[in-house]
């Protein structure tokens, strides 16, 4: 059975939306949209149709200099770092309100840029607003006096938390809005100024966030935006006036950024790739698991860093798990991401489409069994040029296969078998930890204490029990090849602070 369904004719529906072609020539510097100095163009393609629908400037090094210079001036001589944290928090709340006003525009732009179904992108504004509001609640943490006595007495230290400086925020293409906002919100509350560089396939949705920031009255120079290719990001990372880098993206690019920041002794937060596992315990409720499977293991057409794309099933229930996963994925509608009923959209770029198909072919060549999908999807109705791969489930996967070891970042799930004789999950934990990554993970089981004990043994930054979701108040970060540092929570705020201890006698 194939998960790819015949798309309803999409051409007429898209024409009715009167989707505009968006050509812009400016970047955001010092509180204003300003003509870019770079003369190149960064095209924007709709991955559902393969059609070019917009373009932005491919910035030059001079654009980076201007943006960083604006942020540096605002940090050194502007009011922003000198406001009380509660005053900055009030701006964050206003930004949240402005973002919510732009929910429809954000959703449509996001979907046209990377093919995220509107059922996914429709929640982007609310989630972004929630992140701004959460970090606003941490103003009291920054304002609270922190005085620590010397252990042997005779003195005390006043600990100051100060903004680290100009921050480079570099975004990925899979969640271009919220994966910037989880950097932007804590940086702003801390008192930092920023330069944002979106991924080249998704440069337009961040302009909506910038408009919200400007409408909220954030002072000029505090937030700046440049657009362009990877070389622009490299120039930003290495700029001498940047004090901190935060990046979400692939592990290979993250390694290069880490190397550059290490040479410069520059703090860096890296949220990178993943190859997470869902351990299905012998007593798991498979009906309940089926209800959260897509969000947990194939969210955003599999283009989500933390999802558990490896299902580790007990030998005693292996075929039962395979049948459930197969039927659940096969039932999800694939089609036009602008259709609210679509569950699976296209791969975000032509390059990613080809990469995913290469992995699918390697899985078949190495002996995995495709129980649904396993090929490119042919969707008519105006979507013939789109980058669609059928949502694919592979059974009979072994740990040595490429599809089991490497991050695919597309609509592909692998199901591996573990020996559960006597109800033992030791082999499952060993399989889950036998990876270079360590970002997400899941445990499905009926006994909460047993599930928690298994989760404790998983070598990864986040684990869900019977569901997975990010908590704005809890740290999120990866281990090993999944990155450095954390985002969310007070820990995410601390990444944008520099500490000073003032010692005095008492």
The residues annotated as belonging to the active site are 271, 305
The CA–CA distances, whole Å, from 44 to 109, 212, 281, 349, 409 equal 11, 22, 44, 10, 20
Give 414's strand partners.
Answer: 310, 394
C-alpha gyration radius of the chain: 23
| Cβ-Cβ contacts under 8 Å for 80 (sequence gap 6 or more) | 74, 88, 191, 193, 218, 219, 222
Q: What distance in Å separates the CA atoms of residue 114 and residue 356, rounded to the nearest whole number?
A: 15
Hey, what are 300's tokens?
């955003």
Which residue's structure tokens are 């337009």?
204
Phi, psi of 321 (to 5 degrees): -65, -45
**Helix/strand/coil percentages in the chain, nearest 5:** 40, 20, 40
CB atoms under 10 Å from CB of 369, counted, come to 14
The CA–CA distances, whole Å, from 81 to 185, 187, 193 equal 14, 11, 8
SS (H, E, C) 253-318: HHHHHHHHHHHHCCCEEEECCCCCEEEECCCCCHHHHHHHHHHHHCHHHHCCCCCCCEEEEEHHHH
Which residue's structure tokens are 């525009």?
105
CA atoms within 13 Å, Cβ hemisphere of 231: 9
Q: Is 76 helix (H, G, I), strand (E, B) or coil?
A: helix
**Pairing status of strand 155-163 against strand 497-505:** antiparallel
CB atoms under 10 Å from CB of 147, counted, come to 11
């Amino acid at each position: 059975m194939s998960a790819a369904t015949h798309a309803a004719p999409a051409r007429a529906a898209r024409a009715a939306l009167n989707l505009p072609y968006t050509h812009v020539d400016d970047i955001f510097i010092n509180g204003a949209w300003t003509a870019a100095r770079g003369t190149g163009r960064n095209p924007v393609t709709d991955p559902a149709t393969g059609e070019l629908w917009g373009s932005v400037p491919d910035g030059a090094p001079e654009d980076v200099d201007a943006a960083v210079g604006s942020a540096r001036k605002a940090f050194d001589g502007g009011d922003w770092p000198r406001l009380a944290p509660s005053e900055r928090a009030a701006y964050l709340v206003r930004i949240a309100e402005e973002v919510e006003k732009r929910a429809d525009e954000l959703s449509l732009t996001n979907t046209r840029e990377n093919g995220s179904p509107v059922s996914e992108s429709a929640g982007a504004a609310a989630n972004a607003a929630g992140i701004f509001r959460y970090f606003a609640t941490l103003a009291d943490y920054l304002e609270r006096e922190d005085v620590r006595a010397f252990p042997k007495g005779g003195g005390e230290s006043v600990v100051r938390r100060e903004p680290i400086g100009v921050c480079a925020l570099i975004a990925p293409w899979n969640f271009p809005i919220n994966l910037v906002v989880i950097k932007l919100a804590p940086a702003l509350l801390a008192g930092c100024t920023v330069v944002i560089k979106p991924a080249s396939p998704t440069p337009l949705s961040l302009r909506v966030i910038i408009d919200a920031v400007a409408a909220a009255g954030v002072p000029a120079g505090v937030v700046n935006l440049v657009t362009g290719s990877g070389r622009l990001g490299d120039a930003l990372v290495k700029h001498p006036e940047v004090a901190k880098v935060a990046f979400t993206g692939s592990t290979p690019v993250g390694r290069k950024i880490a190397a550059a920041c290490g040479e410069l002794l520059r703090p860096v937060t890296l949220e990178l790739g993943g190859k997470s596992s869902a351990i299905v315990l012998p007593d798991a409720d498979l009906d309940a698991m089926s209800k959260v499977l897509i969000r947990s293991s194939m969210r955003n057409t599999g283009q989500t860093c933390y999802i558990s794309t490896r299902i580790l099933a007990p030998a005693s229930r292996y075929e039962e798990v395979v049948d459930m996963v197969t039927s659940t994925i096969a039932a999800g509608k694939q089609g036009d991401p602008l259709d609210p009923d679509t569950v699976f959209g296209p791969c975000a770029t032509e390059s990613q489409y080809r990469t995913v198909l290469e992995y699918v072919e390697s899985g078949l060549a190495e002996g995995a069994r495709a129980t649904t999908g396993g090929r490119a999807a042919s969707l008519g109705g105006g979507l013939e040029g789109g980058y669609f791969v059928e949502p694919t489930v592979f059974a009979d996967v072994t740990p040595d296969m490429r599809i089991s070891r490497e991050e695919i970042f597309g609509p592909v799930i692998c199901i591996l078998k573990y020996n559960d004789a006597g109800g033992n999950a030791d082999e499952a934990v060993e399989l889950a930890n036998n990876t270079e990554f360590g970002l997400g993970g899941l445990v499905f089981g009926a006994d909460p204490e047993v599930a928690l004990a298994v989760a404790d043994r998983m070598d990864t930054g986040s684990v869900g029990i019977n569901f997975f979701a990010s908590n704005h108040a809890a740290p999120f970060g990866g281990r090993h090849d999944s990155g450095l540092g954390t985002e969310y929570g007070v820990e995410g705020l601390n990444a944008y602070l520099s500490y000073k201890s003032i010692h005095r006698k008492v």
